[in-house]
Amino acid sequence: MSNNKRRTFLKGSIAAGAVGIAAVTRMRGAPPELHARATPVDAGVVRILDLTAAGYTLISP
């Protein structure tokens, strides 16, 4: 990651989808602990689609 042009962007851009947070909260009975830099968003999938449309590459397992 040290040679990644987008390193600064990647370090500061963590989105946490509200649907996923709600699902984990239901399963565990308490909200998950989020990364300090995470920003809750209404629709994580929509953000991913917006980023891929802007030229980012989606890598999935």
What pLDDT score was predicted for residue 28?
A: 93
The per-residue pLDDT for 4 is 61
Sequence-separated (6 or more) residues with CB below 8 Å from residue 58:
48, 51, 52
Q: Quickly state the pLDDT bin for 60 (edges 50, 70, 90).
A: confident
What per-residue confidence (pLDDT) applies to 53? 93
Amino acid sitting at position 8: T
What is the per-residue pLDDT across 24-42, written as a single tens digit (0 to 9) for each? Answer: 899 999 988 888 888 777 7
DSSP 14-49: EEEEHHHHHHHHHHHSSPPPPPTTEEEES-HHHHHH
Provide the pLDDT for residue 46. Answer: 79
Instruction: Domain ranges for the chain, please list them.
Output: 7-53
CA gyration radius, the chain: 13
- pLDDT the model gives residue 30: 94
